[in-house]
């Protein structure tokens, strides 16, 4: 069959399929950074391969973080039984500032610390807070910089999509 005889629908399906394949091929892998928790051994991001992972960079001095932190913890509480992990990476240079913030914001999600800012540099963070939604293969699929009330809808949509993927 000649190409000119293909139906417009078949051509459109082929174009969409090719675009999806190309998009999958150029998904950037998440940097395999190593971070420290409050106690215990360091955590390597690649340890979470096979899970949907939300990595959020925050600091105690970040005004929007005061709202985003509890919202992300609520998302973690809702989606953790379905396979989501959330790593809240604190960037305060003084640990006591982070600890004071955490005392005021009870949470269940994992909090890690990066006072030297190695991880946000590896991720290319441009503002605070910034979150990266990483798929089961370890590729960055969605990025959110800043925080407003409608961001939760976007988080949930992306999380649901990635949890459905094999």
Alpha helices in the chain, H assignment, sequence order: 8-25, 65-79, 95-104, 118-123, 151-164
DSSP string, 45-86: GGGGTTSEEEEEEE-TT-TTHHHHHHHHHHHHHHHGGGTEEE
CA dihedral (58, 60, 63, 64) positive or negative? positive
Which residues have a catalytic role annotated? 62, 65
């Amino acid at each position: 069959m000649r190409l000119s005889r293909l139906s417009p629908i078949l051509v459109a399906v082929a174009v969409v399929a090719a675009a999806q394949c190309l998009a999958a091929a150029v998904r950037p892998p998440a940097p395999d950074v190593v971070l420290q928790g409050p106690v215990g051994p360091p955590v390597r991001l690649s340890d979470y391969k096979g899970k949907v992972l939300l990595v959020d960079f925050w600091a105690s001095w970040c005004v929007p973080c005061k709202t985003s932190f509890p919202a992300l913890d609520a998302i973690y509480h809702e989606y953790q039984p379905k396979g989501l992990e959330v790593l809240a990476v604190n960037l305060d240079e003084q640990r006591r500032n982070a600890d004071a913030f955490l005392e005021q914001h009870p949470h269940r999600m994992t909090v890690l610390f990066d006072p030297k800012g190695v991880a946000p540099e590896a991720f290319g963070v441009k503002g605070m807070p910034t979150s990266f939604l990483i798929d089961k293969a370890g590729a960055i699929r969605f990025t959110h910089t800043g925080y407003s009330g409608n961001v939760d809808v976007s988080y949930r949509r992306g999380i649901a999509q990635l949890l459905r993927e094999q």
